[in-house]
């Protein structure tokens, strides 16, 4: 049980795919312009990541080592195609907006990363929890970025939520300010938001440097101690 | 020469251009520069406090210079809120998240300008018509307090785009027809402003605050590129070299921003490369881009390249100690 707790803590916080591993940044940066598209892509990612982890883990003993990477990609691509078609069927308008990035989930490094690093060497139950928590960790960061960028860029919150949940959710739209700050909806706004979120995460987890020092050496020491894995 | 003395001289050198600009475009310019200097100093103090650096760093004057440069680049009727956003991005994002003065990769004032022109293109390309400028400071200030991208009716009929901007969208007019229609007054205002900054820039070079290589390289490249583009003033002409040198922010950029010691190469040959690069990019963005002025983007792009330029220069430089 403790093991499962550790796995989910890794995915949600300490080894979060977006904030620590910094994988899958393409959809993260491109789709986080509003809550509704962030939520949709987050859900699709959770769906694909969990199921592909499950299948890859279940078949890990029968897969020959030499073809395991193509096989993993095939499994991921299958679920992405499935998700793509389902999204098109149920949420056509939403698919028009984020469809490009749904197809691109195949190339999201988080998926192959989890398949290769975790699912192909762990039991099915663990792989399932890992897929869920990693997907959820990614989706939560995506959602937070979507919220920040929608508020700052458009001045609204929960705009177009009806695309995902049906017509009853049109009223959820909150107009916070009249004018948005367009910059936040453009690519630089995405990078800046992500940068500040990573900084916030590091601020909460890394030990604090107490005083500003001009001494380069002590800074370098600090940096090597605190270094988080970088891609 | 310490940083403070350099910054004081830069501020002094800005004065002629600043006065000519205030004369042409009214008190909005003075309000812009004053507020930008105030906001930038405020944000600098805030960031020094947050990063626990000593507040005496404030006295180096670099925040004042950033504020002055940003204020001079903004149109006089720009809402105060936008100006605040520009200063915020310039000081907090472009300067202090990189580690403060001397560690910033991009010129802070140009980052502030780029953020504003990308976000608020309409407000950022609306300049007063020098013939109909508002002269009452209080009236201008009340215009500036008006928020939002929709411009108040008050300034609607008395403002227009800059010559560079309108020239690009002049349709099938030839160059001569364009200037006939545009009226010489506006173009002359920009000419005087650029001469003012050129004068200040020459003072900077003379007093040893900045070097002459990058500005020279940039101005000559810009002139050389626009010469074939002139095309005898046909309707497809990209404008005379004279227009490219003496309108928009050419001289301000060439002497005050291209020469920023932090964000441009340190090596002498690197400075030539930097200047040529800025010249090429400025011309290309002015002619083919969608924005009225290309200098800010050209400088930011070359800022990003300047560590690489220095690195390559160092690799190519003959090292006597290491000859095999």
CB contact A89 to B (< 8 Å)? no
> What pLDDT sits at residue A221?
47
CB pairs under 8 A between A and B: 21
Question: What is the spatial distance between Cα B220 and Cα B59, in angstroms, rounded to a whole number?
Answer: 36
Which segment of A75-84, B142-151, B257-266 scores lowest on mean pLDDT? Answer: B142-151
> What pLDDT sits at residue A229?
45
**A204 assigned to some structural domain:** no
Better-scored residue on pLDDT, A182 or B222: B222
In this model, does residue B218 exceed pLDDT 90?
A: yes
Q: How confident is the model at residue B321 (pLDDT cuts 50, 70, 90)?
A: low
> What pLDDT sits at residue B66?
95
Contact B279/B225 with Cβ under 8 angstroms? yes
**A225 assigned to some structural domain:** no
> What pLDDT sits at residue B288?
87
CA B293 to mean position of chain CA atoms: 9
Gyration radius of chain B over CA positions: 20
Question: What is the spatial distance between Cα A18 and Cα B243, in angstroms, rounded to a whole number?
Answer: 49
- The strand pairing partners of A156, in sequence order, are A175
Mean pLDDT of the residues in chain A: 84
Q: In this structure, what token pair is assigned to residue B303? A: 């800022």
- From residue A60, how far is each of A130, A134, B184, B211 by CA, in Å? 15, 20, 78, 65
Better-scored residue on pLDDT, A66 or A230: A66
- From residue A146, how far is each of A21, A42, B252 by CA, in Å? 19, 11, 39
Query: How many domains in chain A?
Result: 1
CA A86 to mean position of chain CA atoms: 20
pTM: 0.85
Question: What is the spatial distance between Cα B148 and Cα B24, in angstroms, rounded to a whole number?
Answer: 25
Question: What number is the average pLDDT over the span A95-124?
Answer: 87
Query: What is the domain extent for residue A130?
Result: 2-184
Record: contact A183-B147, CB cut-off 8 A: no
In this model, does residue B151 exceed pLDDT 70?
A: no
Q: Which residues of A touch B53 (CB under 8 A)?
A: 212
Q: B247: phi > 0 → left, psi -120 to 50 → alpha, else beta; which?
A: beta
**A224 assigned to some structural domain:** no
**A51 assigned to some structural domain:** yes
CA B99 to mean position of chain CA atoms: 23
CB contact A186 to B (< 8 Å)? yes
In this model, does residue A225 exceed pLDDT 70?
A: no
With the C-alpha atoms ordered B267, B271, B277, B282, is the resulting torsion angle positive or negative? Answer: positive
- Owner of token pair 């180096």: B60
Nearest to A97 by CA among A48, A159, A153, A50: A159
SS3 state of residue B212: coil
Q: In this structure, what token pair is assigned to residue B37? A: 């200097």
> What pLDDT sits at residue B148?
52
Mutation target vs B (from A212, A214, A216, A219; most B CBs, 10 A cutoff): A212
Q: Which residues of B touch A211 (CB under 8 A)?
A: 52
SS3 state of residue B303: helix
pLDDT by residue (tens digit) across B83-118? 999 999 999 999 998 888 889 999 999 999 999 998
Model ipTM? 0.79
- The strand pairing partners of A157, in sequence order, are A174
Better-scored residue on pLDDT, B273 or B26: B273
Record: contact A182-B119, CB cut-off 8 A: yes
Contact A12/A5 with Cβ under 8 angstroms? no
Q: How confident is the model at residue B153 (pLDDT cuts 50, 70, 90)?
A: low
Question: What number is the average pLDDT over the span B226-255?
Answer: 85
CB contact A179 to B (< 8 Å)? yes
> What pLDDT sits at residue B152?
58
> What pLDDT sits at residue A100?
86
Closest residue, chain A, to B89 (C-alpha) = A192
Contacts of residue B307, defined as CB under 8 A and 6 or more positions apart, other chains included, come to B105
Mutation target vs B (from A149, A186, A188; most B CBs, 10 A cutoff): A188
Closest residue, chain A, to B148 (C-alpha) = A179
**A198 assigned to some structural domain:** no
φ/ψ (deg, to 5) at B301: -65, -45
> What pLDDT sits at residue A209?
64
> What pLDDT sits at residue A197?
92
Residue among A178, A182, A212 whose CB faces B52 most closely: A212
Alpha carbon of B106: minimum distance to chain A alpha carbons (Å)? 14
Percentage of chain B lying above the pLDDT 90 cut: 49
Percentage of chain A lying above the pLDDT 70 cut: 89
Residue among A179, A186, A192 whose CB faces B118 most closely: A186
Residue among B51, B115, B148 whose CB faces A179 most closely: B148
Record: contact B149-A186, CB cut-off 8 A: no
> What pLDDT sits at residue B156?
58
Which segment of A127-131, A153-157, B203-207, B254-258 scores lowest on mean pLDDT? Answer: A153-157
Question: What is the spatial distance between Cα B287 and Cα B238, in angstroms, rounded to a whole number?
Answer: 6
Q: In this structure, what token pair is assigned to residue A99? A: 């469809």
pLDDT by residue (tens digit) across B72-85? 999 988 889 899 99
Closest residue, chain A, to B149 (C-alpha) = A179
Question: What number is the average pLDDT over the span B31-42?
Answer: 95
In this model, does residue B50 exceed pLDDT 70?
A: yes
Closest residue, chain A, to B82 (C-alpha) = A181
Contact A33/A152 with Cβ under 8 angstroms? no
The angle formed by the CA atoms of residues B274, B279 and B285, to the nearest 5 degrees, is 120
Q: Which residues of B touch A188 (CB under 8 A)?
A: 115, 118
Q: Which residues of A touch B51 (CB under 8 A)?
A: 212
In this model, does residue A9 exceed pLDDT 90?
A: no
- Please state the length of chain B: 324
With the C-alpha atoms ordered B127, B132, B137, B140, is the resulting torsion angle positive or negative? Answer: negative
Q: How confident is the model at residue B144 (pLDDT cuts 50, 70, 90)?
A: confident
DSSP A121-159: GS-HHHHHHHHHHHHHHHHHHHHHHHHHHHHHHHSEEST
CA A171 to mean position of chain CA atoms: 27
Contact A32/A149 with Cβ under 8 angstroms? yes
Question: What is the spatial distance between Cα B223 and Cα B228, in angstroms, rounded to a whole number?
Answer: 9
Reported for B191-194, long-range contacts at CB under 8 A and 24+ positions apart, including other chains, are B191/B246, B191/B247, B192/B20, B192/B24, B193/B17, B193/B20, B193/B21, B193/B24, B194/B17, B194/B245, B194/B246, B194/B247, B194/B250, B194/B251, B194/B252
């Amino acid at each position: 049980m403790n093991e499962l707790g550790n796995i989910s803590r890794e995915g949600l916080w300490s080894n979060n795919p977006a904030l620590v591993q910094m994988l899958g940044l393409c959809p993260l940066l491109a789709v986080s312009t509003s809550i509704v598209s962030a939520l949709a892509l987050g859900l699709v990612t959770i769906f694909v990541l969990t199921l592909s982890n499950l299948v890859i883990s279940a078949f890990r003993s029968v897969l020959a080592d030499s073809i395991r990477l193509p096989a993993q990609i095939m499994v991921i691509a299958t679920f992405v195609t499935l998700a793509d078609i389902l999204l098109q069927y149920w949420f056509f308008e939403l698919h028009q907006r984020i469809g490009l990035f749904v197809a691109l989930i195949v190339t999201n490094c988080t998926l192959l990363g989890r398949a290769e690093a975790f699912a192909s060497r762990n039991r099915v139950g663990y792989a399932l929890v890992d897929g869920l928590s990693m997907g959820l960790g990614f989706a939560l960061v995506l959602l937070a970025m979507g919220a920040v960028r929608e508020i700052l860029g458009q001045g609204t919150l929960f705009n177009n939520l009806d695309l995902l949940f049906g017509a009853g959710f049109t009223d959820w739209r909150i107009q916070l300010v009249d004018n948005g700050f367009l910059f936040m909806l453009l690519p630089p706004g995405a990078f800046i938001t992500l940068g500040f979120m990573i900084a916030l995460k590091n601020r909460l987890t890394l030990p604090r440097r107490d005083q500003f020092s001009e001494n380069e050496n002590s800074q370098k020491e600090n940096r090597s101690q605190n270094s988080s894995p970088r891609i | 020469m310490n940083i403070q003395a350099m910054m004081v001289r830069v501020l002094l050198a800005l004065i002629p251009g600043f006065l000519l600009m205030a004369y042409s475009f009214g008190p909005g310019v003075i309000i812009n520069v004053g507020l930008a200097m105030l906001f930038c100093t405020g944000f600098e103090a805030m960031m020094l406090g947050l990063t626990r650096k000593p507040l005496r760093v404030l006295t180096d004057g670099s925040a004042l210079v950033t504020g002055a440069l940003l204020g001079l680049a903004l149109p006089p009727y720009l809402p105060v809120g936008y100006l605040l956003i520009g200063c915020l991005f310039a000081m907090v994002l472009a300067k202090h998240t990189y580690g403060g003065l001397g560690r910033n990769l991009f010129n802070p004032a140009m980052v502030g300008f780029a953020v504003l022109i990308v976000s608020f293109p309409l407000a950022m390309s609306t300049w007063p018509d020098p013939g109909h400028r508002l002269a009452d400071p209080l009236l201008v200030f009340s215009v500036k307090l008006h928020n939002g991208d929709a411009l108040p009716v008050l300034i609607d009929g008395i403002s227009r785009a800059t010559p560079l901007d309108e020239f690009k969208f002049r349709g099938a007019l030839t160059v001569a027809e364009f200037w006939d229609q545009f009226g010489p007054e506006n173009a002359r205002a920009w000419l005087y402003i650029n001469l003012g900054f050129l004068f200040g820039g020459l003072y900077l070079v003379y007093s040893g605050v900045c070097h002459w290589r990058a500005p020279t390289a940039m101005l000559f490249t810009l002139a050389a590129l626009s010469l074939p583009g002139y095309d005898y003033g046909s309707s497809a002409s990209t404008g005379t070299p004279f227009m490219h040198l003496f309108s928009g922010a050419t001289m301000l950029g060439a002497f005050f921003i291209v020469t920023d010691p932090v964000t441009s190469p340190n090596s002498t040959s690197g400075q030539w490369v930097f200047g040529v690069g800025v010249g090429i990019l400025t011309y290309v963005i002015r002619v083919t881009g969608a924005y009225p002025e290309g200098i800010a983007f050209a400088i930011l792009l070359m800022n990003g390249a300047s560590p690489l330029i220095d690195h390559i220069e160092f690799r190519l430089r003959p090292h006597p100690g290491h000859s095999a």
